[in-house]
Amino acid sequence: MEQIKTSLFQQALDVVDKLPPEDQETLADLIQHRLVERRRTEITRNAATTVPAVREGHADYSMVSLIESLPKTGRLEVDIKVAADIHISAYAAKQKVNDFVLSDISYMLHAGDSMLIVGERICWRVPVILSLTSRGDVGEVGAIDVDVETGQMHVTPQLIAEINARAENLAISAASAATE
């Protein structure tokens, strides 16, 4: 059985070696995306017990005292299970934030790539990026969370003010660096 697996694996490698470099890169990206999606699915499946328990108040908070008694150094391994029904994809969250920042904050801002955040709620954290016409992307000025189940963006007037302030400071820094 091991020899069959090895020969199939070797055959796959031989086929890949015959592909043009661009196709090899595309294949590598495709495999990486599939691995990421598989991991996201696994995280979502493992989360099935924790989120409902937290929502219903049945979560076991005895972990707090355990965590406080942990040693300062040494190996720590934590296994947490959380679940949610993902109705909003990472791409949809990015589009939603992009539309919001462009229309409600500034045309000089755009959304970056979403990252899954597991906490009290499971959400996509979408970075907000400042982009200047003369320099392109300058840097991240904040992030907006988008609920994976409802698609609701977690935006407050304070968050908008913080994003604006960071964007202004970063734009001033970029402008002064360009004139030096």
More confidently predicted of 159 and 54: 159
Residue 163 lies in a domain: yes
Q: Is it the case that residue 117 has pLDDT exceeding 50?
A: yes
Count of structural domains within the chain? 2
pTM given for the model: 0.56
Residue 108 lies in a domain: yes
Specify the pLDDT at position 32: 83
Structure-token pair, residue 131: 């982009």
Residue 139 lies in a domain: yes
Q: Is it the case that residue 93 has pLDDT exceeding 50?
A: yes
Residue 29 lies in a domain: yes
CB 81 within 8 A of CB 49: yes
Residue 54 lies in a domain: no
Residue 122: enclosing H or E segment and its boundaries?
strand 122-132
107, amino acid identity = Y
The answer on 42 and 94 residing in a single domain is no
With cut-offs at 50, 70 and 90, classify the pLDDT of residue 64: very low
CB 137 within 8 A of CB 112: no
The answer on 161 and 98 residing in a single domain is yes
Specify the pLDDT at position 127: 95
More confidently predicted of 101 and 75: 101
More confidently predicted of 48 and 25: 25
Q: How far is CA 90 from CA 28, 95, 148, 167, in A?
A: 20, 9, 8, 24
pLDDT, mean of residues 10-26: 87
Structure-token pair, residue 72: 């300062």
**Percent of the chain at pLDDT exceeding 90:** 33
Specify the pLDDT at position 67: 46
C-alpha dihedral over 157, 160, 164, 165, to 10 degrees?
A: 60
Q: Is 141 exposed, middle or buried (0-12, 13-18, 19+ CB in 10 A)?
A: buried
Which residues does residue 122 pair with via DSSP β-bridges, in sequence order? 118
**Percent of the chain at pLDDT exceeding 70:** 73
Distance CA 84, CA 43 (A): 9
Residue 70 lies in a domain: no
Question: For the segment 72-85, what is each residue's pLDDT rounded down to a tens digit?
Answer: 677 766 666 777 78
Residue 6 lies in a domain: yes
Tell me what percent of the chain is helix, strand and coil, each rounded to the nearest 5.
Answer: 50, 20, 30
Specify the pLDDT at position 63: 42
Q: Enumerate residues 6+ apart whose C-beta is below 8 A from 81.
A: 46, 47, 48, 49, 50
Specify the pLDDT at position 44: 63
pLDDT, mean of residues 112-138: 88
Specify the pLDDT at position 42: 65
Q: Which domain holds residue 42?
A: 2-46
Residue 157 lies in a domain: yes
